[in-house]
Amino acid sequence: MHISLRPIGEQVVVVVGASSGIGRTTARPAAERGARVVLAARNEHDLASAVDEIRARGGRAVHQVADVADAGQVERIAETAVREFGRIDTWVNAAGVGLYGKVMDVSMEDMRRQFDVIYWGTVHGSRTAVQRMGRDGGAIVNVASALADRAIPLQGNYCAAKHAVKAFTDALRMELHADGVPISITLIKPASIDTPLFQKAKSYMGVEPQPIPPVYVPEVVAEAILEAAAKPVRELIAGGAAVQLPIAEALAPGLTDRYMERKMFDTQKTDRPVGERPDNLYAPVADDGGERGRNWEGDTKDSSLYTSAVLHPRLTAVAGAVGVGVLLAGVLGARRRSEAPPAESV
């Protein structure tokens, strides 16, 4: 089935989760390229500031306050887009909330709330977009995670929600295409990205969480999203480090378990107490906005050779070579560490 998408400069783009992080970083270049953009999230103050920034640069944008866990509020996003700009060409589901802790420590209420935002928010947005686009077609871009393919400790519920997003997205794509509906359905799988998610996450660990290195700038994800908005593509990885997880899971799942048991607890923790600071699991916080976060103090990668190669087909062979190289380095390194004799205690 042929799906034809308008150039970004001719589109009406809805970005959900646009008050900060990946969503905000996507809305800005979309508007700079000429798209009319609808920004949606819970935090009205930061949505308004994002719209002001876009308009100050000559872009066209409006905002709609919405909690994606509520299907009725998601419908109001669509109503705003159609009222202000006449239609919807691309719908980006990028809303998310962080929750850190062992699955036996995290409350069921908190686990359900995270699922409501990440999974059900994606379902609400996707269904609303399909109903609005219909036979006119368009693009739906769902932001999952590298963790949609492989769970890690301390983020079990987040991983489960992203697994569910992947399954829903794949099923929706097949069903729409089988029915001849010309809507492109893309799953984006980012690696670790430097966004405010971590400083706003609810933590049961007693300390502030941080992303797992290597960490990429959110522009790497935004570029992949805008590529999917303009050209039908099934799935895109944003950040070459994310290539390792599904292949490691397929080739050496037990070894991958042992590596994560050794490394992935401390790697996700800072040494800073979380204290009584607010989180945004149930409501936005005052310092919600911004594209980059505060919790990551290490190096941040400004680009991804792998993702750039995938987005530019002439370099796809390079992407494959890079992906295999990264994977082999990770697996062989883990195997050497696994086989090394234990250090003597002192």
Count other C-beta atoms under 10 Å from residue 37's C-beta.
Answer: 29
Residue type, 324: V
The amino acid present at 323, given as its one-letter code, is G
Is 100 marked active-site? no
Q: Which of 100, 158, 216, 259 is catalytic?
A: 158
**Backbone torsion region of residue 17, taken as left when φ is above 0, otherwise alpha when ψ lies between -120 and 50, otherwise beta:** left
CA pair distance 140, 183, nearest whole angstrom: 7
Q: Can you read off the two tokens belonging to residue 15?
A: 């970005």
Say which residues have a Cβ less than 8 Å from residue 313's Cβ, sequence separation at least 6: none
DSSP state of 145: -
- Map residue 203 onto helix, strand or coil: strand
Compute the C-alpha angle 197/150/166, nearest 5°.
75
For residue 135, how many other CB atoms are within 10 A of its CB? 8
CA angle (256 as vertex; 169, 319 as ends), nearest 5: 60
Task: Report CA torsion sign: 93, 99, 104, 108.
Answer: negative
- State how far the Cα of 210 lies from the Cα of 216, in Å rounded to an integer: 13
- What is d(CA 345, CA 66) in angstroms, rounded to the nearest whole number? 55
32 Cβ contact partners less than 8 Å away, ≥ 6 residues apart: 57, 59
3-state secondary structure of 65: strand
Q: Can you list the alpha helix ranges (DSSP code H) found in the chain?
A: 21-32, 44-56, 71-85, 108-115, 121-133, 156-178, 197-200, 219-230, 244-251, 253-263, 305-311, 316-339
Q: Which two tokens stand for residue 71?
A: 């299907």
Residues with catalytic roles? 158
